Amino acid sequence: MQYELVIKGGQVVSAAGTVKADVAIKGEKIVAVAEGLSGKKEIDATGKLVLPGALDVHTHFQLPFCGTVSADGFTSGSRAAALGGVTTFIDFAIQSKPATLMETVAARRAEADPKVCVDYGLHAGITDWNDERAKEIPAVIEAGLPTFKMFMIYKGQGWQSNDGDLYAALRETAKYGGMVGVHAENNDLIELLQSEADRDGLTGCYTHTITRPDITETEAIARAINLAEAAGGTLYIFHMSTGAAADILRDARAKGINVHAETGPHYLLLDDELFKREDGHHFATCPPIRKPADQAKLWERITDSTLEVLATDTCTFNSEQKATWNGDYKAIPFGMPGIEVLLPLTYTHGVGAGRFSVNHMVAMLSENPARLFGLEGRKGKIAEGHDADIVLFDPDLKHTISAETHATKCDYEPFEGIECTGWPVTTLLRGKIIVWDREFVGKAGDGTFLKRKPPVAIR
Ligand code: URP
Ligand code: ZN
């Protein structure tokens, strides 16, 4: 039998193992994974790893934030994603009061739908929990957004939720199988430390670190976990940055509390000494990048599967936007690009450095996010019936990350100079080649909005 398209001779990787196999594709779907398949069209994958496309469940493209709008929009951001082997991203529809969640979702989809080059979903960002919001939950989940985000900070932005709001949302979403994610930092404590820094005349970039010590994250995470346990809800912690929080998470999961978490390459590979550089403000994000000891602990906790997901929190601000800080650390537009280098950095510093297997990498970048975010059975695996989102990855290709060559609309590169061994060369989205030999050959509109289901089997 001759299939439409066959990827031949590669090593097909899943969380469970690596096998030499061919992958047959019909239309948008994988229809067979076996040796000796033949196709009308064939792609030679000899010497390559055949990976499921990565999912980045935390991006902020075209986000109005900190007085500006993040520089990577849905097209440039998803193009960078495709080049980096990411075939699905999940962004946010963050409610701007008094708009409802459903109005916000419709508006965000109108912005994104025509522009995306890979598939995408949205988390619903709740900024004013009340009875009306509670009534919206089933409709929002039905619209394909079973995951929510609430902010324990950003009072000035009008985004902050209090503990009662968070508890009630955890309790309400649990009725429908939803999950609430949090940006966990203690706003009151940060404000106190900022006023003390003002008193002491501290304004420089390192003050971002001084005013956000570990306790500002660990306290908020412990509190959110307690609320989730009491409410019987499912909790997800976005952008975990501290080693101490990773240990809190390990203990909570050992107790059977339904809590899950991500960290990102910036927390694993960059540290707060960077804030002492002249361009230190380029690295400012919330929570801040931390210390080498935090990095070591986070690596440990992703290796032992306490942390189940790696995601980037891509929120690009170029140097002109970042320059508006004018020496005041509180005025820095917070965020950095990262989606394009998620996979090669994880491969180089995780697999290549001997920290974990390529199968563990696929669990963290593909299978776990698909399972936790309601895309199981469709995304995250190279298996019959799944979308043919496939990356041909050259494990020997060396590339030094640089602003000179990256695709993001950022004129600096947070991971500048890091040499990777292993790089994605070809990306297929639902059977269509969108990156060929490291050239983007897709277009805006190739991607589609993913109506996600309430996550299954999370615990
Ligand atoms: O500093 C960050 N992380 N900016 C993006 C918004 C958020 O908090 O995730
Ligand atoms: Zn956040």
Is 320 inside a domain boundary? yes
Is 208 inside a domain boundary? yes
Dist. CA 286 → ligand 2 center (Å): 7
Dist. CA 151 → ligand 2 center (Å): 7
Q: What is the pTM of this model?
A: 0.98
For residue 37, what are the contacts with CB-CB under 8 A and spacing of at least 6?
3, 6, 8, 22, 23, 24
Dist. CA 354 → ligand 2 center (Å): 30
Instruction: Say if residue 184 is in the same domain as residue 291.
Output: yes
Among 155, 239, 286, residue to substitute to test ligand 1 (most atoms within 8 Å of Cβ): 286
Atom from ligand 1 closest to the CA of residue 60: 5
For residue 207, what are the contacts with CB-CB under 8 A and spacing of at least 6?
197, 329
Instruction: Say if residue 13 is in the same domain as residue 162.
Output: no
Dist. CA 429 → ligand 1 center (Å): 28
CA-CA-CA-CA dihedral for 67, 69, 70, 72, to nearest 10: -160
Among 313, 322, 332, 339, residue to substitute to test ligand 1 (most atoms within 8 Å of Cβ): 313
- Domain endpoint, select from 325, 344, 372: 372
Among 154, 239, 241, residue to substitute to test ligand 1 (most atoms within 8 Å of Cβ): 239
Dist. CA 16 → ligand 1 center (Å): 33
Dist. CA 286 → ligand 1 center (Å): 5
Instruction: Say if residue 190 is in the same domain as residue 261.
Output: yes
Is 400 inside a domain boundary? yes
Instruction: Say if residue 45 is in the same domain as residue 58.
Output: no
pLDDT score at 55: 99
pLDDT score at 458: 56
Atom 3, ligand 1: which residue's CA is nearest?
286
Is 451 inside a domain boundary? no
Count how many Cα atoms sit within 13 Å of the Cα of residue 156 in the half-sphere of its side chain.
9
Cβ distance 169 to 95 under 8 Å? no
Instruction: Say if residue 403 is in the same domain as residue 303.
Output: no
Instruction: Say if residue 209 is in the same domain as residue 255.
Output: yes
Rounded to an integer, the average pLDDT of 301-318 is: 98
Instruction: Say if residue 258 is in the same domain as residue 112.
Output: yes
Rounded to an integer, the average pLDDT of 388-396 is: 99
pLDDT band at 436 (very low <50, low <70, confident <90, very high): very high
Is 448 inside a domain boundary? no
Rounded to an integer, the average pLDDT of 17-22 is: 98
Instruction: Say if residue 348 is in the same domain as residue 236.
Output: yes
CATH number, position 74: 3.20.20.140
- The pLDDT mean for the chain works out to 97
Is 446 inside a domain boundary? no
* Ligand with an atom nearest the CA of residue 63: 1
Percent of the chain topping pLDDT 70: 99
pLDDT score at 109: 98
Residue 233 has pLDDT above 60, yes or no: yes
Considering only CA atoms, give the Rg of the chain.
21
Instruction: Say if residue 250 is in the same domain as residue 121.
Output: yes
Q: Give me the domain span that covers residue 44.
A: 2-51+386-440
Residue 270 has pLDDT above 90, yes or no: yes
Rounded to an integer, the average pLDDT of 440-446 is: 98
CATH number, position 11: 2.30.40.10
Among 290, 334, 336, 410, residue to substitute to test ligand 1 (most atoms within 8 Å of Cβ): 334
Is 380 inside a domain boundary? no
Question: Distances from the Cα of 314 to the Cαs of 125, 291, 442, in angstroms?
Answer: 16, 21, 21
Neighbours of 87 (CB within 10 A): 32
Count of domains forming the chain: 2
Rounded to an integer, the average pLDDT of 299-322 is: 98
Is 458 inside a domain boundary? no
β-pair type (49-52, 432-436): unpaired
Atom 9, ligand 1: which residue's CA is nearest?
313
Atom 4, ligand 1: which residue's CA is nearest?
335
pLDDT score at 389: 99
* Ligand with an atom nearest the CA of residue 61: 1
Burial class (CB in 10 A: 0-12, 13-18, 19+), 235: buried
Instruction: Say if residue 34 is in the same domain as residue 130.
Output: no
* Ligand with an atom nearest the CA of residue 315: 1
Q: Each residue of 74-131: pLDDT tens digit?
A: 999 999 999 999 999 999 999 998 999 999 999 999 999 999 999 999 999 999 999 9
Dist. CA 150 → ligand 2 center (Å): 9
Instruction: Say if residue 13 is in the same domain as residue 107.
Output: no
Residue 459 has pLDDT above 80, yes or no: no
Which token pair is 458? 């999370």
Instruction: Say if residue 195 is in the same domain as residue 328.
Output: yes
Residues with CB under 6 A from ligand 1: 60, 183, 285-286, 313, 315, 334-335
* Ligand with an atom nearest the CA of residue 338: 1
pLDDT band at 455 (very low <50, low <70, confident <90, very high): confident
- Domain endpoint, select from 372, 402, 418: 372
Dist. CA 385 → ligand 2 center (Å): 34
